[in-house]
Amino acid sequence: MSTRVGPARGEDLTEILALLEGSGLPREGLEGHPALVAREGERVVGSAALELYGSSALLRSVAVADGRRGEGLGGRLTREALALARERGARRAYLLTQTADGFFPRFGFRPVPRPEVPEEVRDSVEFVSACPGSARAMFLNLTEGAR
């Protein structure tokens, strides 16, 4: 069965939240923001979400189901989410990670000190309370071409 990546539907939220919990990722602050899912049939096997703040985007909730990791789904979701951020007018993307700082550089992300992240992104639930202060902030200039 093929895996499709596309916009999340309202009824996907329960599966997305379970996927995030199983991946040890924060669930807080996800509602109300655009999300993508990787779907196999009707089953959600991966997710990625964006929080948009003017010309800045916060990439979050990139997760792939156990047993499906290593198949490139996380990369597909990340590329699709970054394309969506560009379509919505974002010029910069940020993220926080504790465990995937080796994954995101392949898309052009680089570490950035938290104080250099725009205030509107730092004020997000993800930065304020969902992720610990030890999570590494990363930055990508979205105007330097798609990866």
Is residue 145 pLDDT above 60, yes or no? no
Number of compact structural domains in the chain: 1
Question: What's the CATH number where 45 sits?
Answer: 3.40.630.30
What would the mean pLDDT of 97-110 be, rounded to a whole number? 88
Q: Is the separation of the CB atoms in 102 and 124 below 8 Å?
A: no
**Tens digit of each residue's pLDDT (9 = 90 or more) over 54-78:** 999 999 989 999 888 778 899 999 9
Contacts 24+ apart (CB under 8 A), 27-34: 27/130, 28/125, 28/126, 28/129, 28/130, 29/124, 29/125, 29/126, 29/130, 30/60, 30/61, 34/7, 34/8, 34/84, 34/88
CA distance 22 to 73: 16
Its pTM stands at 0.89
Structural domain of residue 119, as residue ranges?
A: 3-144
pLDDT at 129: 72
pLDDT at 23: 84
Question: What is residue 58's predicted lDDT score, i.e. its pLDDT?
Answer: 95
